[in-house]
Amino acid sequence: MRNGDVRIRIKGTGLYVEPFRAQAQQPAFPSTGQGKRTAGMRRVSGAGPNSVVGGNGVLLRQQSRQAVRSNWAAGRAVDLAVTHTIGTGIKPQSLCPDPVFREAVQQLWYDWTEFADADGVLDFYGLQALAVQEWIEGSECFARLRPRKPSDGLPVPLQIQLIESEQVPHEHTTIVPGGNTVVQGIERDQLGRRTAYWMYRQHPGEWMLGGGDASLVRVPAAEVLHLYHPTRAGQLRGVPQLSRMLVRLNEAGEYEDAELVRKKVAAMKMGAITRKPGSDEGEPLIGEEEADAAGVADVGMEPGTMLVLDDGEDVKWFDPVDVGGNYETFMRWNYRGVAASVNQLYEELTGDYSTLNDRTFRAAFNTFKRRYRFYQHNIVAQQFCARVWRRFIDLALIAGTLQRPAGVADRDLYRVAWTPDRWEYIHPLQDVQAVLKEIEGGLTSRTKAVSERNDDVEDIDRQRGDDAKREQKLGLAPVAPPEGGDRYRVTPPAPAPDPGASKP
C-alpha cells in the first residue's frame, strides 16, 4: 500500500495492477442527472402511444371543447386552422390520360358536391371544413361512406356522414371472436390492419327522446374515414391540437378576467364607511339601504355625490394595485406561446400587428404555409379526400353515370391531384411577376402555376378562347400585351393585311 492506494496482484504471478482511484460517473445527458435541478424532469411517463391517449384522451377532448366554447383565443385558433387548411375547399383535378373521361368526371364531381352531405346541410367542401374543425377541436373526426339507392336521384349514389369522436368509445378494448383485437374502438386483424370500427348509433352525450341505444355497431373499415394527426408510430386515436396550450390558455384567461375586475373596481372608486369605537352602531349609515334577507345592506353613491357623514363615521377607499406597464408585455409573450403551440402566427391569432413589418411577416408566413401544406396534403387529402374520390369513381361506374374509356388502366382512372386554395398575394404585382418569370425561365409550367391557384388550366384556356371569339365577333380591339411581349396575350393579334389584296 502506497499513499493509501491499494495494490492488486494478479494471482499466480508477481505482476501488480497500477493503483487507481474510482472516478465519480457523470450522467450521459444533463437532464438525466440526479440533482435537485432535474428532479421534476425525472417524473415522466414511458407509456406507449395508445396508453397515453387511452388514459388522457377523453378528458383532453372535453377540456378542448370547453376551451373553444369559452375562450376567445382557443376559438380563434380553431377558426384560423380551418380557414388556412380548407378555405373554400381542397378540390380535385382528374389526371386520367383520357381527355373525354377527365372532362366528364370533373363535371360529374361538380354536380355531386352539392348532395354530398348525408344530413343535407353542407356541400362536400363544407364537410371538409367541419371535419377539420372536429379534428382540431375534438382530436379526430370519423365519417361513413353511405351508398344510396338509384331511386334517390343523386348524380352519384353516395353521401358522407360525419361522426364525432365520442361515438367511437376509447374504453372499448377487447378481443372479438376470430382473434381480432379491438383497441379504443378500432378493430385490427393479426397483421395490424384496420378491419372495423365500433360505434354508438347515437352520440352518447345527447338527450334522446324515448331513451338512447347504448349498443355498439361494428362498421367495416372500408366504409369509414378517420381524420386525425398521428404523432407517434402505431398511434390509433388522435389528440386535440389545443392540448399543448390548455393550461396556458386557462391561466391567461383567469389573469385577464382578474385584470378586468381590477379595472372595473378602480373605475368605480369603491370604499367602505366605518364608525369609530363608541359610536351608535344601531343608527343607519348615510345612504344605507334596507338590509336584505341575509342582513346585508348596501351604501349607494352616484357619480358626483358628496357624502355628509355623521360624527364617528369615516370613509376608507379601496385602491386596487395597478400592474403598471407589464400587463401588455406579459400578455403579448403569453399569446406568442399560445400561437406557437398551434403552429399559427401571433399577429393573426390576436389581431395585434403593432410589432410587425413586411419583411418579418413574409419570413414567418413562409414557414407557416409549409406547415399547413403538410396538413392539407398529408392529412386531409390522404385520409379524407382520396378515399372519397375512389368510392365516387367506383359508384359512378357502377351506376353508369361514367363510362370506362377503352385502354385505360385501373390506376389511371383514379389518378387525381388535390389542390387547396391558393395563398393570397402579399404583394400582388411582385408575386405575379415572379410567377411569370418562372414560367419564362422554364422553372415551372403554366399548368402547374394555374393548378397552384386552385384553377384548371383547361378551363382557363377554354375561357380565354371564348373571350377571344366574342371580342372578335364584337369587333373589340385586342388587349395590348404587357411590356411589349405577346406570350400572355388575352386575345390573338389581328391578322396581317394581305399585300396582294386590291385597295378600295
Cell of 324: 403598471
Q: Give the whole-angstrom CA distance, residue 486 versus residue 489.
A: 5
In contact, 212 and 167? CB cutoff 8 Å: no
Q: What's at 140, amino acid-wise? A: E
Check if the beta carbon of residue 173 is closer than 8 Å to that of residue 98. no
- CB 488 within 8 Å of CB 481: yes
Residue with cell 371543447: 65
Q: pLDDT 10s per residue in the chain (504 long)?
A: 555 556 677 777 777 766 655 555 677 777 777 777 777 777 888 889 999 898 899 999 999 999 999 999 999 999 999 999 999 999 999 999 999 999 999 999 999 999 999 999 999 999 999 999 999 999 999 999 999 999 999 999 999 999 999 999 999 999 999 899 999 999 999 999 999 999 998 888 886 655 666 789 999 999 999 999 999 999 999 999 888 888 888 888 888 888 887 777 677 655 555 556 555 555 555 555 566 666 555 655 565 555 556 666 666 666 666 666 677 888 888 888 888 888 888 888 888 888 777 778 777 888 888 899 999 999 999 999 999 999 999 999 999 999 999 889 989 999 999 999 887 777 777 778 888 888 888 888 888 888 777 677 877 888 888 888 888 888 887 666 655 555 444 444 556 666 665 554
Task: Report residue 223: phi and psi, to 5°.
Answer: -100, 5
Which of 59, 229, 204, 214 has its CA nearest to residue 141? 229
Containing 220, the helix (H) or strand (E) segment is strand 216-220
Domain residue ranges of the chain, discontinuous segments joined by +: 56-245, 423-479
- List C-alpha distances in Å: 166 to 131, 176, 179, 204, 226: 14, 21, 26, 7, 13
Compute the distance between CA of residue 162 and CA of residue 203 in angstroms, rounded to an integer.
12
Strands (E), 52-111: 91-94
DSSP reduced 3-state for 144: strand
Query: Residue 94: what pLDDT?
Result: 93
Rounded CA separation 61/243 (Å): 8
pLDDT at position 491, please?
46
Q: How many angstroms separate the CA atoms of 338 and 499, rounded?
A: 73
Look at residue 488 in the predicted model and tell me its pLDDT.
45
